[in-house]
Structure 1
Amino acid sequence: MGKLYVVGIGPGSVENMTVRAVNAIKNSEIIIGYTKYIDMIDSFIENKKVFSTGMRGELERCKQALQLSRDNVVSIVSTGDSGIYGMAGLILELRKDEDVEIIPGVTASSAAGSVVGAPLMHDNCNISLSDLMTPYELIKKRVKLAASGDFVISFYNPKSHGRPYYLKECMNIIREYRDGSTPVAVVRNALREGQRTEIFTIDSFDDNKVDMMSIVIVGNSNSYLKEGKFITPRGYKLTESSDY
């Protein structure tokens, strides 16, 4: 009897994977994933069968994972969390009677947030600016509603050569609801090799610093910077006596 683990490997650095994710991969006979994700875990998948596909091969990978899991223990891997822009949803849509276990991981917004401070301490949301699966008009509507609701917003897939202006347009939507001093963080390759961070305000934001390997976090109306750290207050009542 086989089994399929749908594994979120986190940011891509082994030290930031969960123990449960590592154990699932080590216990699997077959590993399936996007080529770049496979490269991130190559240090502990020696002597295993590996099937990889390029970008946009998600449907093929999921079908293959389910088929192979009928007689083998298989892990299909995604960066971040397998249930946040990962493979968990598609696997469950395609699943018939296969034994499937979803294993979460550290998603990109959490990873990026930890690098720049504590920007996600209050209500927040993730919005992907990729229009491959979602019409751009719907994306802009979601940005407007999130901004008007004063959510901290983390932008996934913020900018590519095929859609160079989406991020700028969405930031202009947010400007209607935020002060220009609101902090904005850009984190590239969060918690993995090549990590780079820059902190802006809405007024000083430069979208030329952003690419597909970046996460952009826009604060809410109470977010601020303290000694270079991006903080969104949870709402605790601080007084002078709170000092230690």
Structure 2
Amino acid sequence: MGLYFLIKLAVCAVLLRSTPAGGYVYQMIYDCEYGDNITDVVFFVKNIFNQKLCTMYDSRVGKYVGFGEYCMRNADHYNNQAWKMIQRRHQVETLCRYNTRLFRRSTLDRKVRPIVVVHQTKPADYGERSMLECSVLGFFPQEVRVSWLRDGAEVTSDVSSTDVHANGDWTFQLHSYLEFTPRRGQRVSCRVEHSSLTGSLEVDWDTFELEAKYLKKTVGIIFFFLGFAAAAGGAAYYWWKQRFDFSPLRREEQTSHLSEL
């Protein structure tokens, strides 16, 4: 509820920036400022009349300060209201520090692990120039480091990368590219370092498709030679059978031929 209230105040401040003709605009803005240590919170309540700061409550001094004679009288009036001063002191905790914790959990302390995918940008055989893409997706916060490894050694040449892009859902993405020539038995990896990870994350390029392509070629060649050998063996057997046919009918024909002689 506190964060929603702050958002409403900010919207009202934007809508009331301009003074309507012949009218007056009075604004009250609650402002919380803090550093890395959320215990050091400064709470301001600013009363603005026609875009000019009139009075301001400062939690560091614990009272209102006025700017100008009329506004100084208003500041004294506010400071003499015990209930208002108690409310302001409590708001340092209930409004500022409470929402600061929510803000830190949802932004500064939020961690989302990246999803890493490595693939070829276009098909290429071993020995042909190709490119790998490492897509690092859906991570938070924005700071990330991506590098390439070849057989465990970092590659520094022929590497390019996009800028870190916001996805619109409080996550980011980045794409890194490596130009290289694939070699059989070579291990190529994309290494990602991010605050959401306990250590670096290494994802290997999967060469299954390339190996499957070579396996298909090898199997095709083997079956071709097996078929060729079977055909050649069949032809040789047919020729041998025709040349040296020892069937009973053939022997009878040969015996009859010899008797005639």
> Does the alignment reach a TM-score above 0.5?
no
The structure, 1 or 2, with the larger RCO (C-alpha pairs under 8 Å, 6+ apart) is 1
- What is the TM-score of this pair, normalised by structure 2? 0.23
More strand by percentage: 2
Higher helix share: 2
